[in-house]
Structure 1
Amino acid sequence: MAIDRARALAMKLPTYDVQLERGRLRFFAKAIGETNPVYSDLDAARLAGHRDLPVPPTFFFSVSLEADDPFRYLTDVGIDLRHVLHGEQHFAYGAMAYAGDTLIVGEQIVDVTSKRGGAMELLTKETTFSREGEQVAVGTTVIVVRNPEVTA
């Protein structure tokens, strides 16, 4: 079933807050193999000029999964999750985020594109991360959706 582009682009996704905790940032840095001590050692972070542990690279992707139902937006536009593949992820950073910060996370579907005669659709979602009105980062996620009703 094809994605209803107008419905997807008009969808309002709820915002939510995320508290950045030191232990969580350390755990993420370790999980991605980050060896720079500024991401795990508070003294090293401060010596490098940071006020606290900074957010490790790609951390914001994990934050996006903290919504009450992180994939509801897909089912709300009629997408069968059995036909979904994570296609692309990238970030544009505007400011540093640190342990102790509370971020406001906002999400919006910004594009739906059909490929291969409708056999594949690309849904693009932007996620903004802000702190006290300052944009910290924007994450762009592209979800690939296979339409089993169309053969190309």
Structure 2
Amino acid sequence: MNEQTEIPGGPDREHRRPEGVDDITVEALGALSKALETTERARGRLYDFHQLTGTADLQLDRAVELLEEAGHPEWAAKVRSEVLGRNVIPGHWTFQIVEAYNATYYRPFQQLETSAVDELAQGRDHLYEAEMKEERRTAGHPDHVARLPDPEL
């Protein structure tokens, strides 16, 4: 499908392949986008790690308080000095790991993917998926429309 092929009820202009963009380029951009989406999921897990570790560290305050209240000041001091506020890897708290990941890997990857889509597909994202949707739609089925009707038409 190319930009000139307007299928009634088909995808909007932003989800139609620009003239001159070949199948392999669409597939390559789809693979690049999928890899970035996987990175987004990994990044989410990194934020889970960050928040869960921070929550656990804050919960240690209660453990210290209860150990002291129970008459175990030596254990309270041990928890406070050995675990509370400890680096998760040498020299780093979790926020520093998140910042390094974002700066070193995530943002450059995100910018590269955006640049590739801009240069190779005139900024039209998800062409691979849009074309897959067109191939899999059942013509005339109300739950298989390409897009909602334009209210201005």
Which bracket does the TM-score occupy, shorter chain normalised?
under 0.3
- TM-score, normalised relative to structure 1: 0.27
* Bigger proportion of residues as strand: 1
- TM-score, normalised relative to structure 2: 0.26
* Bigger proportion of residues as helix: 2
